[in-house]
């Protein structure tokens, strides 16, 4: 992926627009991260008003998007959902047809829906808009309970910060886990929120400092080579297994088992990139138990085998030796 076009239209949301610029538009070559040919495009170049009372000047029309490796569609106002600008829809449709990446943020999914590229696919948008999308586009399998959905090379995401999670998910596929984590660290955000997490978390902040599960989660990350049953985690949190599982789901938006599984895959990605260890050793270090289980999880989460992932993303400068 070398070229990125971000589509903005009248009434765009500044935060979601800004996160696309942050994820793909900054020059991070000093950090060893490749830069993209990044442009903001719109159907009618000139002043484009936001939904917050200010405008930005956009110099490029949509023609660049027809050549971009990634087309990002930012949110559009509710009043336009029934009358999507056909020019924007056509750009998204052509991008999907030629196999480019398409990533929508929040209500930007309505542009992709109107273009027909989500028909027969699973997709998401902000949970407040999910029922409307189901009514307007019954051929789309709308999942309102996730942060983002990837179906082929089309990624749809929920509101605000979930769009950033989707961007990091795509960057991880294109650049590898190490560089995606480097970008996340630069932005001071968590690099590992999985798409299957809930859109809204019941307790986004711990009820009291003494009840925070963060120390248990940190300990688990340092001990991924162990089996880590819920009972052991609950004991460290001084809770019953049932209470721990409920609190974990409320605080992290997913089950302990699902969270651990994703962390094991992320750790395996890092080891495949940064070491020359064999798959058996990596599987043991990450708690998968066997190379076969590691391969199964890699195929399910990333659509790649460990060998294919290493061939694509290995950092060959100074790998850590198995010795």
HEC profile of 268-319: HHHHHHHECCCHHHHHHHHCCCCHHHHHHHHHHHHCCCHHHHHHHHCCCCCC
Which string of DSSP letters, residue by residue, matches 220-268?
A: HHHTTTS---HHHHHHHTTS-HHHHHHHHHHHHSS-HHHHHHHHHHHHH
Per-residue pLDDT at 317 exceeds 60: no
Distance between CA atoms of 297 and 306, rounded to whole angstroms?
Answer: 10
Q: Are 101 and 69 in contact (CB under 8 A)?
A: yes
Distance between CA atoms of 154 and 141, rounded to whole angstroms?
Answer: 14
Best-predicted range by mean pLDDT (162-166, 182-186, 209-213): 162-166
Q: What is the pLDDT of residue 251?
A: 80
Q: Are 265 and 297 in contact (CB under 8 A)?
A: yes
Per-residue pLDDT at 204 exceeds 60: no
Q: What is the pLDDT of residue 153?
A: 96
Per-residue pLDDT at 185 exceeds 90: no
**Is residue 49 helix, strand or coil?**
strand
Distance between CA atoms of 190 and 163, rounded to whole angstroms?
Answer: 13
Per-residue pLDDT at 52 exceeds 70: yes
Domains of the chain (ranges, CATH numbers)? 3-187 (3.40.50.880), 209-253 (1.10.10.60), 258-313 (1.10.10.60)
Per-residue pLDDT at 193 exceeds 60: yes
Per-residue pLDDT at 75 exceeds 70: yes
Distance between CA atoms of 126 and 103, rounded to whole angstroms?
Answer: 14
Per-residue pLDDT at 157 exceeds 50: yes
- Residue 199: band (very low, low, confident or very high) from pLDDT cuts 50, 70, 90: low
- Give me 58's structure tokens: 């956009």
pLDDT, mean of residues 141-156? 93
Q: State pLDDT tens for residues 217-237.
A: 999 999 999 999 999 999 999
Q: What is the pLDDT of residue 323?
A: 40
- Residue 319: band (very low, low, confident or very high) from pLDDT cuts 50, 70, 90: very low
**Is residue 213 helix, strand or coil?**
coil
Distance between CA atoms of 172 and 178, rounded to whole angstroms?
Answer: 8
Mean pLDDT of the chain: 89
Distance between CA atoms of 107 and 128, rounded to whole angstroms?
Answer: 10
């Amino acid at each position: 992926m070398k070229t990125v076009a971000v589509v903005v239209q009248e009434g765009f949301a500044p935060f979601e627009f800004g996160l696309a610029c942050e994820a793909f538009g900054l020059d991070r070559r000093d950090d060893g991260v490749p830069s993209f040919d990044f442009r903001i495009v719109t159907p009618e170049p000139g002043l484009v008003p936001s939904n917050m009372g200010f405008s930005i000047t956009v110099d490029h029309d949509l023609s660049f998007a027809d050549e971009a490796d990634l087309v990002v569609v930012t949110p559009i106002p509710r009043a336009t959902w029934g009358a999507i600008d056909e020019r924007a829809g056509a750009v998204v449709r052509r991008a999907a047809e030629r196999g480019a990446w398409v990533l929508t943020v929040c209500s930007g999914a309505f542009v992709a829906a109107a273009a027909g590229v989500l028909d027969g696919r699973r997709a998401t948008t902000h949970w407040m808009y999910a029922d409307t999308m189901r009514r307007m586009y019954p051929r789309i399998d709308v999942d309102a309970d996730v942060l983002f959905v990837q179906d082929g090379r089309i990624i749809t995401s929920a509101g605000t910060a979930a769009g950033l999670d989707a961007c990091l998910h795509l960057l991880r596929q294109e650049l590898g886990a190490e560089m995606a984590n480097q970008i996340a660290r630069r932005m001071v955000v968590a690099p590992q929120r999985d798409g299957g997490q809930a859109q809204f978390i019941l307790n986004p902040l711990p009820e009291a400092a003494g009840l925070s599960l963060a120390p248990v989660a940190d300990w688990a990350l340092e001990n991924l080579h162990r089996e880590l049953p819920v009972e052991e985690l609950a004991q460290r949190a001084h809770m019953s297994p049932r209470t721990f599982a409920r609190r974990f789901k409320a605080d992290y938006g997913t089950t302990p088992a699902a969270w651990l599984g994703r962390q094991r895959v992320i750790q395996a990605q890092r080891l495949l990139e940064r070491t020359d260890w064999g798959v058996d050793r990596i599987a043991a270090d990450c708690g998968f138990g066997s190379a076969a289980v590691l391969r199964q999880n890699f195929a399910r989460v990333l659509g790649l085998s460990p060998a294919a992932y290493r061939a694509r993303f290995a950092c060959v400068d100074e790998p850590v030796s198995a010795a």
